[in-house]
Amino acid sequence: MKDKNWLGRMPIKIVLLYLILSSIWVVFSNVALRFFISDINLLSRIDTYKDWSFIAVSSLFLYVLLSRYLSMIIEREKRYQTLADSGQALVWLAGTDKLCNYFNKTWLEFTGRTLEQEMGNGWVEGVHPEDLQRCLDIYVGSFDRREKFSMDYRLRRQDGEYRWLQDDGSPCYDNDGEFIGYIGFCLDVTKDKQLEVELAKNNEFMAAILDCLSDGVVACDKDGTLSLFNRSTREFHGLPEKPLSPDQWSDYYDLFEKDGITRMKTENIPLFRTLQGEDVTDQEMVIVPNGAKPLTLLATGRQLVSRSGEKLGAVVTMHDVTMVKALEEQLRQSHKMESIGTLAGGVAHDFNNILTVIGGACTLLKMEVAGNPEQMKLVNQISSSADRGAKLTHSLLAFSRKQTISKQTENLCNIVKIMQDFLGRIIGEDVLLTTYLPDEALMVMIDRGQIEQVLMNLAANARDAMPNGGILNITVSRVENNGSLPELEGCRSGDFAMISVSDTGEGIDNATQKRIFEPFFTTKLMGKGTGLGLSMAYGIIRQHDGVIQVGSEPGVGTIFKIYLPLRDQKEKQEPAHLVTLSGGTETILVVEDNPEVLAISSGLLERAGYLVLSALDGVEALELFKREADRISLVVLDVIMPVMNGIEVFEKLKAYKKDVKVLFASGYTADILNKYGVVQESVNFISKPLSPPIFLKRVRTLIND
């Protein structure tokens, strides 16, 4: 800058020096001539020579000064140009008219064009067409605002290849602050651009890999701002594709401890724990995204540290175990049901034996007191209570799913009537159960245990929908499928029996109604349900060629309608009290390990006229059969006994007599009997508690076959 100012003042100095020297020459030369020469003519001639000499000397002096000045300017320009040309930067200059008036040697060598070709706006011909408009907008806009600018664009090299340039332009001003144009420096940043592209590809590749993972992956910087999350994480949390600071997390989701109820404290959140340098492994938590179902996740996280030891942030992976938890709950429920079923099976066996004794004794008593109405009334009360006990046992086995699956023609009204007391125990005292049954018998081909299971599931759901009490109504009616009922579209025409189960509970919204029969779908809190009850009900009804529909309105209640095709068969009515027993005179071997059941069964058969041989175990039975095989017409054989079970006894009996007739009897449940090889449909079998009329009828039928 000092050199520039000095060169700028040089013409003024030359003029001043010329004026001073000229003045000195004129003054002193005139004084000296007049002092030494007095001749006027001579003085006149000398003045003439003096003037010409002055002109020559001063011109020579002025020429020397100007030459020196010009050489300095040229040297300065050469120095600046050499400096500009020797660098790797492409340098350009532009005037106030926005036109470029200089390009350094590096630029010209790069483009392979001459200075004349690049001058003005000629340089834009080398800019890539895709970058040109953007480049000009920045260039012109910066000129108008007198601002520095930085832009990148592709410029065609002399070999035809386009290279990326980073162009930094700055405004220039003279000593008086006047704007005189722009100067720009360009560097080839093609390699940097290629690295950026490669880095972007690598980032995209890594993002694609992370998005393919079913586990969620989330990373944050050292301040806790979420900066990276894959697709699964966005689906888990409902997050947008932008960084989120910690104070924004609650706008998208809530975090709970694994119980799904207790809100997670900040210091317990996996991401914060890892930011503090703590390793997190399989931390269970429940996340509730806004407007979505809760998810149970296992979080594993580590702190991110650079090679130099600088803390960069943290990364956490999240594994969705919601379905696993549901399956675990289902397994626990299954184990619970299995335990209940095992208990129910054992209770049912003992209870059935007791009921067999009570029922058989009542039958014998009825025969004894047939002529005494007062005593008959008491015996009938005992018999009625025994029947209710048998029904309770049957319902208990249905609840534990231990009944044998077999369809039979049943009166649907009777099933609901029998289930009424048991359902009342399920729903509790704060829910009023009402039933409406027609006088006519509605006969359907069903598996009684499965239909009872459906009713229990619906009753249990209704109870949960009425936590503060309410009304549960069960109605059975006959409907005709004449094409007017859309729910029966596709079903056969004819009459159907409809069971309507309605409650006054909280109701169900439309979205839930659409999914209510899906397996594992539940709106109950974690640990309160498996989402299998209604899906099982749906499957059972469909297996019975029926239809189940749901209708509901939030705050009003819910109604389930079950349609089962009616059978064209009237229900066989049996006398309420049998006081006479028909039998025969054949010999029957009764094998039963319970002495009381053995005594009452033998007593019934003897009262019916049969000759009875009795045994308390299989060994004793075989010894009797060996001696009396020719006389024995039928063996009534208990299935499960100590020492030797009924199947083993049966196989040994066949060794003595191939055509031996056997009637198996047991109070155990179907699943236990199946383990011993007793499939009720493939053998002559009767369940306990034994109904005397049915028992004697089966005995007579088998003997006659």
pLDDT at 572: 45
Per residue in 359-377, pLDDT (tens digit) is 778 877 777 777 777 777 7
pLDDT at 154: 93
When pLDDT is averaged across residues 514-541 and rounded to a whole number, the result is 60
Is the pLDDT at 575 greater than 50? The verdict is no
- Cβ within 8 Å of residue 303, ≥6 positions away: 274, 275, 276, 277, 278, 279, 311, 313, 314
Q: Does the structure show a pLDDT above 90 at 168? A: yes
Q: What is the average pLDDT value for the chain, to the nearest integer?
A: 78
CA nearest 531: which of 701, 293, 704?
293
Do the Cβ atoms of 355 and 386 come closer than 8 Å? yes
Contacts of residue 649, defined as CB under 8 A and 6 or more positions apart, other chains included, come to: 591, 618, 621, 622, 637, 641
- Give yes or no for a contact between 701 and 633, defined as CB atoms under 8 angstroms apart: no
- pLDDT tens-place string over residues 206-245: 777 777 777 888 888 888 888 787 887 777 666 777 777 8
pLDDT at 475: 92
Q: Are 84 and 76 in contact (CB under 8 A)?
A: no
pLDDT, greater one: 454 or 401: 454
The single residue listed with the structure tokens 């039975």 is 621
Does the global pTM surpass 0.85?
no
Is the predicted pLDDT of residue 488 greater than 60, yes or no? Answer: yes
pLDDT tens across 245-282, in order? 877 777 777 888 988 888 888 888 888 899 888 999 99
What pLDDT digit, counting tens, does each position of 24-33 carry? 766 666 666 6
Q: Collect all residues with Cβ–Cβ distance below 8 Å to 39 and sequence separation of at least 6.
A: none
Distance, C-alpha 319 to centroid of its chain: 10
User: What is the predicted pLDDT for the residue at 283?
Assistant: 92
pLDDT (tens digit, 9 = 90+) per residue, 441-475?
889 888 777 788 788 888 888 888 888 888 899 99
| Chain position carrying tokens 């859309």 | 486
Asked if 164 contacts 190 with a C-beta cutoff of 8 angstroms, the reply is yes
Between 614 and 404, name the one with better pLDDT. Answer: 614
